[in-house]
Amino acid sequence: MNLMKIAFFGTPKYSLIILDKLIKSGYKICCCVTKPAAKIGRDQVF
């Protein structure tokens, strides 16, 4: 098991894939920062 602690910053589109691989590799993720969902379109829906 790897003892390195990681603060992860990423976009939601790719972060799930990368975080999954890091966790399965034994890294400890101490925090994760992503961009919140943004409203899109004329009706401004999520």
pLDDT of residue 24: 93
Q: Which domain holds residue 27?
A: 5-34
Average pLDDT, consecutive stretches of 10 residues, N- to C-terminus, the chain (46 residues): 79 84 90 84 79
In a domain, 15, yes or no: yes
pLDDT of residue 2: 58
In a domain, 18, yes or no: yes
**Continuous H helices in the chain:** 12-24
Number of domains in the chain: 1
In a domain, 43, yes or no: no
Element (H, E) at 37: none
Give CA–CA dist 41/46, Å, rounded.
9
In a domain, 12, yes or no: yes
Give CA–CA dist 12/7, Å, rounded.
15
